[in-house]
Amino acid sequence: MTQANLAKARKPVASNRGHTAVSSMTPDKDWNPGEQSDSQTDLQLVRKVRNGDRAAFDLLVVKYQSRVASIISRYVYDSQEVMDLAQETFVKAYRAIDRFRGDSAFYTWLYRIAVNTAKNYLEARGRRPQGSADAAEAENFDDGSRLRDVASPERLLQREQLQKALTEAIAGLPEELRSAFLLREYDGLSYEDIARILECPIGTVRSRIFRARDAVDRQLAPLLNHSEI
């Protein structure tokens, strides 16, 4: 996705899907997010946006655009659709910024908007939301270290089979289990943040993640037990 200039959101243009889109932007060279915590930086930027500083929202776009696109790509596979939906996510966030209360991290709030945008897009077209994982994501999974070593053609084939099995195992999970699993295993969110995103008790989050891990482990077990990966 090109770096979208939300500073120009006051002059929206039409995207190729008929939704309001945002134009290109250049990051603020003076911004250094490493100088303070992410949450402090985000809250300061949100306050500036509320005070009319549209450039502050540009910085939030720069910071999170890759993650937002990654979130959406788990539901939508077409790259152009992912780009359009990522833009739509940021437009929605910009317009709803006054409703961000700060009860959770800004990214948690933005994540929920991205997921809902992707799901609404699929539902509007009569398509069931799917989950996906690629090889890079698989390296973050508990058994991902098995995928990293340079190996023989036989091992490479085994790795491809394992990656495919992992993708299918995750995609085959019920939606409520898959969402909790991805938020925890791939995004590294806390149980508290996941509970806020999914709007359910922490105990329910823990239960869903446990059940998802168990289902994935059982589906991968035959491959892991009989491979030399």
Residues 6+ apart with CB under 8 A from 123: 129
Among 1.20.1260.10, 3.60.21.10, 1.10.1740.10, 2.30.33.40, what is the CATH number of 4-124? Answer: 1.10.1740.10
Q: Pick from 186, 197, 163, 176: which is nearest to 71 by CA?
A: 186
What count of other Cβ atoms lies within 10 Å of the Cβ of residue 167?
17
The two tokens of residue 183 are 């938020």
Could you give the CA distance from residue 169 to residue 145 in angstroms, rounded to a whole number? 18
- Do 135-225 and 4-124 fall under one CATH topology? no
Residue 219: HSE in the Cβ half-sphere, 13 Å Cα cutoff: 19
* Per-domain boundaries in the chain: 4-124, 135-225
What's at 37, amino acid-wise? S
**Model pTM?**
0.52
Angle at which helix 106-124 crosses helix 79-95, to 10 degrees, equals: 130
Q: What is the per-residue pLDDT across 29-39, written as a single tens digit (0 to 9) for each? A: 444 444 445 66
What is the distance, to the nearest Å, from the Cα of residue 193 to the centroid of all Cα atoms in its chain? 14
Weakly modelled stretches of the chain, pLDDT under 70 = 1-40, 127-159, 223-229
Q: What is the per-residue pLDDT across 88-133, written as a single tens digit (0 to 9) for each? A: 999 999 999 999 988 778 988 998 899 889 988 988 887 555 444 4
Instruction: Please tell us whether the domain made up of 135-225 is placed in CATH 2.40.50.320.
Output: no
In this prediction, residue 119 carries a pLDDT of: 87
